[in-house]
Amino acid sequence: MKNKKCKIFLNCSVVFLIIIITRVGVFAQEFPDLEGFSGSDKVLVLAPHPDDESIGCAGVIQRAVKANAQVKVMYLTNGDHNELAFIVYEKRPVFFNREFVAMGRIREDEGKTAMRLLGLKDEDLIFLGYPDYGTNKIFFSFWETSRPFASYLTRQSYVPYKESPSFRAPYKAENILADIKKVLVDYKPNKIFVSHPADLNGDHWAYYLFLQIALRDLRGTIEDPKLFVYFIHAPGWPMPRNYHPDIKLAPSEKHFPDELINWHSLKLSKDEIEKKYKAILCYRSQTCVSAFYLLAFARQNELFGDYPLIELKKQKTDGRLTDYDYFKSSDRVSFAVVDQALWIRMKKPQELRRRLFFSVHLFGYSDTTAFSKMPNIWIKTKYNNLRIYDTNSGKELDLLESKAILEKEYLIVKIPLKILGDPNYILGCVATDKPFLPVESVGFRRMEIQD
């Protein structure tokens, strides 16, 4: 009886250990090492909010500084929209718009303190000061509009921070793009670290999209830098929470199941991990609420990886409009250009067969038309019914030759390229009202259209 109980205990222990080890990533795949740094490197870290540079790239910053590389950090926002954290930090309700702006200044000061700890100077930091929790909306709908975006909490429609090079710039997309391009032209970085296009925080993927447009606009003006993309926000990732310097950071198989991304890892020394830990703790206004989450990124390594560019060659149909050989990317969401139209194939999951909704955002880029003049297309589907909007004008568009084909396993949508402004490059993502698609499927993808 005693032996039987011991055997049951041992079996349960093994199962428990397997679960724990799997969750913490001890069995995680080994990824190639991130390339090193040298004294000739000019590194630019793009942080959507003050703390993202420490969460995602504190090891990178330390390693680059050690190599005598030049390093700059450019913050898109001052993080002035985190109401819950501000209430806890101030130990009182926060009501007035000036108080949220003041909290943005506190986060700026915290960023300076954290970066000094990692070896940077205040002059290495650029705070653009655009609205936290608003830059994605600006990218969607505020290109050369008569009115700028208005922040819900700060009630500001322009950059309110006097120290910002963008002080009093209206919250419009062309201003954000111009500021990014100016830094790229003046600094000429050869390595850029930027937030991920599949990140669930809108400011994170918006920064990625603004950077992509800026780099397209500057082709031939500056040398193409290498891009390294870091990921922060996904439900239940990373696990376990809190500070675990003995655990590796690995991409979640739940969120990135198809292995489309070629991940690279930067292994950190004990000293680098400890400094990263301390840099994150510099953000007292955030760790007062979410230290258990933020410190979960202070681990043995940092991860970087982007989707590969999808090259879509223009094809002509042979009568099989939905032939799967046309499509490129994953089985869940894939793309093709056939008969002067963009085709998007979306796999229907079992749980949505009776209530099938998809939402598709498409931003076309043309070498002959300013991006601010290009249509920003939002497609809403219900079963095989389509509605198409231009998010910049807010107008619903005629369907023209657009259509949706509902098959047993897939919904396939056809959008003529002329609706997208006849682009040669597209940024697009697919989403639903149900979280059945993994992050990998719904992140913004880059598509190059070739003749």
Domain CATH code at residue 118: 3.40.50.10320
Helix H or strand E segment including 72: strand 70-77
Quick one: residue 333, left, alpha or beta (phi over 0 = left, psi -120 to 50 = alpha)? beta
Q: Classify residue 367: in a domain, yes or no.
A: yes
Claim to verify: residue 297 and residue 379 sit in the same structural domain: no
Helix H or strand E segment including 147: none
Q: What is the mean pLDDT of the chain?
A: 88
Query: What does the alpha-carbon distance between residue 314 and residue 340 come to, in Å, rounded to a whole number?
Result: 7
Q: Classify residue 79: in a domain, yes or no.
A: yes
Q: Classify residue 29: in a domain, yes or no.
A: no
Provide the number of structural domains found in the chain: 2
Q: Classify residue 15: in a domain, yes or no.
A: no
Taking 60 as the threshold, does the pLDDT of residue 18 lie above it? no
Greatest mean pLDDT among 89-93, 196-200, 277-281 lies in 277-281
pLDDT, position 22: 41
Provide φ and ψ at 33, rounded to 5°.
Answer: -70, 140
Claim to verify: residue 333 and residue 442 sit in the same structural domain: yes
Q: Classify residue 12: in a domain, yes or no.
A: no
Domain range holding 352? Answer: 310-450
Of 274, 304, 334, the position where a domain reaches its end is 304
pLDDT, position 383: 79
Reported confidence tier of residue 10, pLDDT bands at 50, 70, 90: very low
Q: Classify residue 17: in a domain, yes or no.
A: no
Return the DSSP state at 296: G
Mean pLDDT of 30-55: 97
Reported confidence tier of residue 327, pLDDT bands at 50, 70, 90: confident
Q: Classify residue 418: in a domain, yes or no.
A: yes
Q: Classify residue 94: in a domain, yes or no.
A: yes
Of 304, 329, 362, the position where a domain reaches its end is 304
Sheet with 42-47, side-by-side order of all strands: 125-130, 70-77, 42-47, 191-195, 226-230
Mean pLDDT of 266-285: 98
Claim to verify: residue 282 and residue 328 sit in the same structural domain: no
Provide φ and ψ at 9, rounded to 5°.
Answer: -60, -45
Claim to verify: residue 300 and residue 360 sit in the same structural domain: no
Claim to verify: residue 380 and residue 402 sit in the same structural domain: yes
Using alpha carbons, select from 75, 70, 21 the residue that is nearest to residue 46.
75
Of 248, 282, 304, the position where a domain reaches its end is 304
For 393-438, what is each residue's pLDDT tens digit?
Answer: 889 999 988 988 888 888 899 999 999 999 999 999 988 765 556 6
Query: What does the alpha-carbon distance between residue 443 and residue 231 come to, in Å, rounded to a whole number?
Result: 11
Return the DSSP state at 295: G
Claim to verify: residue 234 and residue 376 sit in the same structural domain: no
